[in-house]
Amino acid sequence: MKIGELAKAARCTTETVRFYEKEGLLPEAHRTASNYRDYGAAHVERLRFIRNCRALGMAHEEIRALLILMDAPQQGCGAVNTLLDEHIGHVDARIEELTQLRAQLAAIRAQCQTEHQVSACGILHGLAAMETEEKPPRHSHLG
């Protein structure tokens, strides 16, 4: 199948296919005599796997590690479990960060309970006066 057919089968764009090929997550397709890429069912399956992992917030390196494990099906799945446990830890850390962010936003929102002129808006004054702390390093694998 051609790249457009692959993209349609995997519900993505041709640019996504090319990107994953460039990243080395999707193997390059064989070329036809007329130099068109010729993809097969294995490409569809792998691209869907990659897209499902991305939908779960996995980084490319995590996906790459899972693909390497998939390519060695005779091995035990302990490494897969470990990788997923680590990813769950990243998600938990992100949830904690977002919970703290929500609390901070709620505190700012509480500074303006009634309608005022913008010049007297407690939220805007609070944002202007707020002391920001240096951001701690994110606990997320995504940066």
**Residue 100 burial by Cβ neighbours in a 10 Å radius (0-12, 13-18, 19+):** exposed
User: 3-12, 46-55, 93-102, 103-112: lowest mean pLDDT where?
Assistant: 103-112
Give residues with Cβ within 8 angstroms of 119, minimum separation 6: none
Give residues with Cβ within 8 angstroms of 16, minimum separation 6: 7, 51
Which pLDDT value is given to residue 126? 84
Q: CA–CA separation, 92 vs 85, rounded Å? A: 10
pLDDT tens digits along 56-68: 999 999 999 999 9
Q: CB–CB of 39/29 below 8 Å?
A: yes
What architecture does CATH give domain 3-55?
Orthogonal Bundle (1.10)
Which pLDDT value is given to residue 141? 55
Q: What is the mean pLDDT of residues 29-52?
A: 93
Structure tokens at 96: 């904690």
Domain ranges of the chain: 3-55, 78-129
